[in-house]
Amino acid sequence: MSKKTVLVTGGAGYIGSHTIIELLNHGGYEVISADNFFTSSPKSYDQVEMITGKKFKHYKLDLCDILEFDKIFSDHDIAGVIHFAAFKAVGESVELPLKYYHNNIASLVNVLELCRKHKTSNVIFSSSCSVYGNIEKLPVDENTPLPKAESPYAYTKQIGEVMLQDFCKRYLDFSAISLRYFNPVGAHDSGKIGEWPNNKPNNLVPLITGTAIGKYPQLTVFGGDYPTRDGTNVRDYIHVSDIADAHVKALNFLFTGKNKTNYDVYNLGSGNGVSVLEAIAAFEKISGKKLNYKIGDRRAGDVVSVYSDSTKAESVLGWKCKHDIKSMMKTAWEWELYREKEKF
């Protein structure tokens, strides 16, 4: 029996590359990938092949170009799509909103158009905890009403979920799952692949490890006067390999027809809120290095606190976090040291 083929968009990116590893090593799927490398490196594909010992086809492609994108669907019998491809920097989305609305929404429109055209009936959508905005009642679950988004990036994720829900209402032979994951951190246990931003990263952990190794002179913590236990933002950090595992479980769930509805949403988080200063302290403990940081101004678009109730994913998909904050920081630091050694 031939293996099902899965298309991973944005597969050279942080979560995409780890999900390809999971699909190849534990999913039993053939994988193809598409990425425009605007915010990722094609070298990540080499690392995936080195870690898994398996080759897979990948294409340099802007998903907003539907004619070029169509060729992938025409050349392959795609059973399902895991859609990661999107711009994701909250601060940049405030500065360049049209860039985010065009890329993040148009790419999903094209995914759905081509799925319909080529009879691909399963999609896993990369959503985000940013859809919850500033919520007073924590932890949030899938029934928490969504407020006004705090950034254009977050709004594109809210719009994406509505698009999928409407599409599934119209086409009952199509199934989709939106995974709202919280703050992805860490790196693969091999230490040979992790977060790999083209420019200075926007996310906390690669800024921590980059500062510790000397890439950046000092880390700025955005805001120290929030109404939290230490004045800094509180987030639910989740290991990237746990997120990758959830995508494979969600895809298996659809392929085996276990879904009772053709559209659903799941939170992916640890359920524990960790402040920025607590994350820094955890890194300092596992690395033995004192981090040079300062408290700066708040950053536009950031929410105060958010963390997850992921009971639904555990009970329905059989998914649960395996890594704690120490493991997240340990693997992230090992990846940073590996990058320094290999001159990536």
Mean pLDDT across the stretch 263-284?
96
Return the ∠ at Cα 117 (arms to 111 and 123), rounded to 5°.
Answer: 40
pLDDT band of 344, cuts 50, 70, 90:
confident
**pLDDT value at position 325?**
93
| Residue 327 parent element (H or E) | helix 325-342
**pLDDT value at position 202?**
80
| pLDDT tens profile 193-242 | 999 877 778 889 999 999 999 999 999 999 999 999 999 999 999 999 99
Compute how many other C-beta atoms are within 10 angstroms of the C-beta atom of residue 135.
18
Burial class (CB within 10 angstroms; exposed 0-12, middle 13-18, buried 19+) of 192:
middle
pLDDT at 183 over 80: yes
Distances (CA, A) of 236 to 62, 133, 309: 31, 14, 10
Catalytic residue among 14, 45, 132, 153: 153
78-83 and 122-128 beta bridge pairing: parallel
Residues 6 or more apart whose CB falls under 8 angstroms from that of 127 comprise: 157, 160, 161, 178, 179, 180, 181, 265
Mean pLDDT across the stretch 139-161?
95
**pLDDT value at position 137?**
85
Q: Which residue has the tokens 């085996």?
A: 256
Whether 70 and 111 have beta carbons less than 8 Å apart is answered as no
| pLDDT tens profile 236-250 | 999 999 999 999 999
- What torsion do the CA atoms of 60, 63, 68, 74 make, to the nearest 10 degrees? 100
Q: Which residue has the tokens 């940013």?
A: 130
| pLDDT tens profile 14-58 | 999 999 999 999 878 999 999 999 989 999 999 999 999 999 999
**pLDDT value at position 1?**
54
**pLDDT value at position 343?**
85
Q: What is the fold of 5-185+238-269?
A: Rossmann fold (3.40.50)
Tokens describing residue 283 = 């890194």
Tokens describing residue 87 = 């711009």
Average pLDDT over the chain, rounded to an integer: 95
| pLDDT tens profile 289-339 | 999 999 999 988 888 998 899 999 999 999 999 999 999 999 999 999 999
| pLDDT tens profile 94-134 | 999 999 999 999 999 999 999 999 999 999 999 999 999 88
Which parts of 174-275 fold into alpha helices (H)?
204-213, 240-255
**pLDDT value at position 27?**
76
What percent of the chain stands above pLDDT 70? 100
Interatomic CA distance for residues 260 and 313, integer angstroms: 14
Active site residue 171: no
Q: Domain extents for the chain?
A: 5-185+238-269
